[in-house]
Amino acid sequence: ELKVEQNPLFLSMQEGKNYTIYCNYSTTSDRLYWYRQDPGKSLESLFVLLSNGAVKQEGRLMASLDTKARLSTLHITAAVHDLSATYFCAVDRHNTDKLIFGTGTRLQVFP
Amino acid sequence: DAGVTQSPTHLIKTRGQQVTLRCSPKSGHDTVSWYQQALGQGPQFIFQYYEEEERQRGNFPDRFSGHQFPNYSSELNVNALLLGDSALYLCASSPNIQGWQETQYFGPGTRLLVL
């Protein structure tokens, strides 16, 4: 059974600081996704990572994938308050759009 | 393009009742997946519909059933509601294209409260 674990579960950061969220998954998988969710809202797609060594960046967020280690990271550079949200990674093992989500990381950025 | 739409936005039911949630996929998308997100947790895959048939199913009881119509819209039905069915129900759509390399598109969700 595919399991997806994220850490930390909760992250409180000061504006301007850097930090990394980790996503581990238990079995070989085709795709890895990162989503953002604001309170009471739906999921906003951030990144889709398809192959080993893939790196994607958008603004202050950068995601990477190491399929050998079954690990993805979401790196936050110089955090700002607008980044406060819950971040989920999700894995699609067989490229069938059946996503298995991690537990989520709740990020709070304070002045 | 309206994107993925869901109705209703909120719903309150009592234990034992039945509920139907609706989803219209993004234009051009023919595959619809449903997820349940309990408070403070990640979404869990319920099932997926393609060509009006259930193609994949997650670990949910038979009380959860669905349907897809010829226009690709979909319904999620839950019978004999339990308090634990209270959650945000998310619909996601995607096209059934070989080599599709983008994410599914999620709708705004239906928040169900069972009293």
- On average, the pLDDT of chain B sits at 93
Q: How far is B63 from chain A (nearest CA, A)?
A: 20
Instruction: Taking the CA atoms of A87, B89, A4 and A62 in sequence, report the sign of the dihedral they define.
Output: negative
* pLDDT one-digit tens code per residue, A27-74: 888 789 999 999 989 999 999 998 888 899 999 999 999 999 999 999
Containing A72, the helix (H) or strand (E) segment is strand A71-76
The residue of chain B nearest to residue A104, with distances taken between CA atoms, is B42
What gap in Å lies between CA A58 and CA A5, rounded to an integer?
23
The shortest C-alpha distance from A15 to chain B (Å) reads 24
The 10s digit of each residue's pLDDT in B19-68 is 999 999 999 899 999 999 999 999 999 999 999 999 999 999 999 999 99
Quote the pLDDT of residue A107. 96
- Set of chain A residues whose Cβ sits within 8 Å of the Cβ of B41: 103-104
Contact residues on chain A for B105, CB-CB shorter than 8 A: 45
Whether residue B107 and residue A101 make contact (CB cut-off 8 A), yes or no, is no
**Whole-angstrom Cα distance, residue A74 to residue A34?**
8
**What are the tokens at A6?**
């994220």
Residue at token pair 């099932």: B47
Euclidean distance between CA atoms B58 and B47, whole angstroms: 6
> For residue A110, what are its two tokens?
């304070």
Distance of residue A27 Cα from the nearest chain B Cα, in angstroms:
17
The reply to whether A104 touches chain B by the CB within 8 Å rule is yes
Between B98 and A26, the more confident residue is A26
Q: Does A1 touch chain B (CB under 8 A)?
A: no
Tell me how far apart the alpha carbons of residues B25 and B33 are, in angstroms, rounded to a whole number. Answer: 10
Average pLDDT for B71-75? 96
In angstroms, the CA A32 to CA A92 distance is 6
Instruction: Indicate the burial class of A22 (C-beta count within 10 angstroms; 0-12, 13-18, 19 or more).
Output: middle
When pLDDT is averaged across residues B4-18 and rounded to a whole number, the result is 97
Cβ within 8 Å, pair B103-A103:
no
Dihedral sign, Cα of residue B58, residue B64, residue B68, residue B73 = negative
Comparing CB atoms, the residue among A41, A98, A101 nearest residue B48 is: A98
Residue B99 binned pLDDT confidence (cut-offs 50, 70, 90): low
| Chain CA centroid to CA A14, Å | 19
